Structure 1
């Protein structure tokens, strides 16, 4: 799914990371004897849209003695960062790391400063615990402070729901659509009244979200493959049910069909992260005020949310830490939300005026009233460095079921087989 908060995504929610405890020991020596950068300047790297502009400008002005030089790096950020690391020159003092890439970088934790060694213990409690753990190795090193998160909610068209016999008020929607089974049942009811309104925007995305709602994923802490177990199969079967009952609109996010479906009501619901609001608003020109927010069926998940890290090459790690601590304070996170809907990872920001405003697009709802509780209740799951790679065949296989090219059982067997092969080549048991 290609959406505008492109800190994510190389193929939909099924390829995205949830709110997780990632972990691997930092046994690699890369960066252990890194050459220090020259003193007197702090080089800061991030990708387009990763930081709020007003916060960035204010931070640069707030630390005049540090001569912060900001570089916006487009394209494949992770690859460019790793290439720079391997080249050994022009390595930034501070760099962003995307949430979907933190797990894969934890085996190289020695390239980064353990923030606990320079004072982070005093502020880690200011951030959501599950998000901090996403940047924590199994041996306890913390390599990043969280920039933002992506708690989920159900975006839905109040007018389409009520016309189709479903509740329209958010509290009533929350009550009736508590689980994904409830959601699919509502989809059938809606389809009877309005055959063009399909409640599932994309079953493959729904599958990825359901996986991220759990506390287990594809690989456990003992480096064993568990992707063939019930917690994954249940998500798979529910996604297949959406396909076979024909309540799946099969619309790829960010496409013209997706945009039109949201505005015209043929895609009247979307379970997605807080940043998806930007995409929904951009797509909808005639349905402003008709959208509402309710809790995600079966509980919250997280998609997206990144970190600021300090490399071992930093000339003055303590000074760099003061910079990221200031930039990621609750006040500045609230400003970043106002700037670019960068959703705060510090709960104290949720009470700031920038997040308490009513939103006319959602009929006067206050979005933080839905996203705030979701953010605080993201499930903590272990995310292995290879989890994304091992999980990818499941999303690919589900798309074959969507296209009518394979039965559910055949596609499942193929996904499990490919996932095991990928894992085995990389040492997963």
Structure 2
């Protein structure tokens, strides 16, 4: 049987350094000290409804790519019901309420990567170990980082990896052309040689049009931090967000761009931000691969060809995002939910999703299949090459238990710079106080 122990060294270090006690699941199904039982095969003749509670368009993408319809056709006994909110923090808060009450969990609950270290260290008894299912071998196809990030100290894998979030810059070709700037992806990429050049080009755009260069300071912040070797934590699992060379310099740079009037001052995933995808209220956006599908959903078919993408400058690679399909251990439909989750995260499904211009595969077999994918919605941009190159160059950043809380505090502080005119210095102090109160 596949064992995640060989993939979990980084997770082990982070958890051990934080002094979190092991909750006792072994790496192989059916032999854990917490007496978990292997999940059997779903009965193809039993009528079952799989309920999914999700966020950020994960299952909307599956629907758009035709994967849910394909599964329904192949499994006529299965009904899939899903609901989604856009904001992951809202989803996480609601999930916490369910966990605290001990009721209300859906059969599948996605987990965002920034929550992975907390989940593996504090919620091991809640979620099904993929090694306790018949689909454990599928984990062999996943990247080491995708598996290790959701692996507990003793080797339990608490979710099926869905995707990765390699970074690019997406932009409006029509807005560039109207501003007298390069709209061709190769020509634009040749001018965006580093972050200084990106911002200088943005100032030219603002001067020419009076409109915003990029959507939000928070998106730019996540882009800047994604390319660095560390973010909120070091390799030993110690929080270093307030002292390392990544977070404060990136925060200051993003805040300065906002203060200079280069951002649209929108809150990501808000209704106004969604509308701006269509109306063209900004020219560029930090673009993890999953943003392709989100742009298509919000900008609509009328903007096909008005968007394109370029790689990051200086051959940089970054990652923002990636999620896991987690199944509650106590789900009455665990076997059926595992079957659906395995199908949606298979190489074939993940390749299909990316070929539809949606999420980038975490499955390595799928990654090999999508190298030459282009996307007509994005002006024929070679998205397979752009995002594959970014994924290969992206650093493997250490995760920590409070990554999600730290990210939320810092990004909310940047929103106040844009929306309320708070100075960057005051915003940083406010974020630091919030983190200190919530995390310590």
TM-score normalised by length of structure 2: 0.74
- Residue 302 in structure 1 maps to residue 319 in structure 2: yes
Match for residue 377 of structure 2 among 333, 350, 361: 361
- 1:268, distance to aligned residue in structure 2 (A): 1.1
Q: What residue number does 1:55 align with?
A: 67
Following superposition of structure 1 onto structure 2, how do residues 19-58 of structure 1 map, counting pairs within 5 Å?
23-24=14-15, 27-28=22-23, 32-33=34-35, 44-47=50-53, 50-51=58-59, 52-53=62-63, 54-56=66-68, 58=70
- Residue 347 in structure 1 maps to residue 357 in structure 2: no
Kindly tell me the number of residue pairs found equivalent between the two proteins: 401
Q: What residue number does 1:332 align with?
A: 349
Match for residue 179 of structure 1 among 174, 190, 194: 194
Contact 2:114–2:399 (CA<8 Å) still a contact in 1?
no
Q: Secondary structure at the match of 1:181?
A: helix
Following superposition of structure 1 onto structure 2, how do residues 212-223 of structure 1 map, counting pairs within 5 Å?
212-220=226-234, 222-223=236-237
In the alignment, the residues of structure 2 paired with residue 116 and residue 149 of structure 1 have an alpha-carbon distance, to the nearest angstrom, of 21
In the alignment, the residues of structure 1 paired with residue 96 and residue 409 of structure 2 have an alpha-carbon distance, to the nearest angstrom, of 25
Range moving further from structure 2, 362-371 or 258-267: 258-267
Per-residue CA deviation, residues 335-368 of structure 1 (Å, 9 max, x unaligned), is 3446783432223324558x85543322222322
- 1:159, distance to aligned residue in structure 2 (A): 4.0
In the alignment, the residues of structure 2 paired with residue 228 and residue 208 of structure 1 have an alpha-carbon distance, to the nearest angstrom, of 16
- 1:320, distance to aligned residue in structure 2 (A): 7.3
Following superposition of structure 1 onto structure 2, how do residues 76-95 of structure 1 map, counting pairs within 5 Å?
none
Unmatched tracts of structure 1, length 5 or more: 1-19, 425-429
- Residue 402 in structure 1 maps to residue 418 in structure 2: yes
In the alignment, the residues of structure 2 paired with residue 88 and residue 63 of structure 1 have an alpha-carbon distance, to the nearest angstrom, of 30
In the alignment, the residues of structure 1 paired with residue 198 and residue 333 of structure 2 have an alpha-carbon distance, to the nearest angstrom, of 52
Q: What residue number does 1:72 align with?
A: 82
In the alignment, the residues of structure 2 paired with residue 404 and residue 310 of structure 1 have an alpha-carbon distance, to the nearest angstrom, of 41
Range moving further from structure 2, 101-110 or 226-235: 101-110
Contact 2:165–2:322 (CA<8 Å) still a contact in 1?
yes
Contact 1:165–1:189 (CA<8 Å) still a contact in 2?
no
In the alignment, the residues of structure 2 paired with residue 314 and residue 68 of structure 1 have an alpha-carbon distance, to the nearest angstrom, of 15
Contact 2:409–2:434 (CA<8 Å) still a contact in 1?
yes
- 1:388, distance to aligned residue in structure 2 (A): 1.8
Q: What residue number does 2:144 align with?
A: 129
Higher RCO structure (Cα 8 Å, ≥6 apart): 1
In the alignment, the residues of structure 2 paired with residue 80 and residue 395 of structure 1 have an alpha-carbon distance, to the nearest angstrom, of 20
Q: What residue number does 1:413 align with?
A: 429
1:27–1:270 CA distance, 2 compared to 1 (3 A): same
- Residue 288 in structure 1 maps to residue 304 in structure 2: yes
Match for residue 242 of structure 1 among 223, 244, 257: 257
Superposition RMSD in Å? 4.1
Q: Secondary structure at the match of 1:46?
A: strand
Contact 2:50–2:336 (CA<8 Å) still a contact in 1?
no
